[in-house]
């Protein structure tokens, strides 16, 4: 095989390999659909500090059970928006939840017995 033909074949193989590699990288870097996490699992992080029921835990940490869902959601969103509501840790914690997860948490706690 003449040198020019060998070079053309080698170049074609490199381009083909680069195409496969590029395609694999795009696939590997594409976000996969997230598995929906049950709201009860999400609530465990809240319950650790706020408690599982409406009993006040003392200090500055209010109970969440039985509170109005809309009020809770507004407050959670205010914490997430660069600490618009004051807290030592809530702005960091709420940053890890999606809008849908915050809404589900607010609804979940509003339905818990007072």
Q: Are residues 24 and 60 in the same domain?
A: no
CATH label of the domain that carries residue 78: 1.10.760.10
pLDDT digits (tens, 9 = 90+) for 89-102: 888 889 889 999 99
* Structural domain total, the chain: 2
- Helix, strand, coil distribution of the chain in percent, nearest 5: 60, 0, 40
CA atoms within 13 A on the CB side of 21: 6
pLDDT of residue 61 exceeding 60, the answer is yes
Beta-carbon count within 10 A of 17 CB: 10
N- to C-terminal Cα separation, the chain? 85
Can you tell me the distance from the alpha carbon of 57 to that of 73, in angstroms, rounded to the nearest whole number? Answer: 21
pTM of the model as a whole = 0.66
């Amino acid at each position: 095989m003449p040198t020019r033909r060998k070079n053309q074949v080698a170049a074609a193989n490199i381009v083909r390999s680069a195409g496969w590699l590029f395609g694999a990288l795009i696939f590997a870097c594409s976000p996969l659909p997230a598995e929906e996490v049950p709201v009860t699992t999400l609530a465990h992080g809240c319950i650790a500090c706020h408690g599982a029921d409406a009993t006040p835990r003392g200090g500055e940490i209010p109970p969440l059970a039985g509170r109005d869902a809309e009020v809770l959601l507004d407050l959670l969103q205010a914490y997430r928006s660069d600490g618009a509501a004051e807290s030592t840790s809530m702005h960091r914690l709420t940053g890890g939840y999606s809008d849908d997860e915050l809404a589900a948490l607010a609804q979940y706690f509003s339905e818990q017995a007072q």
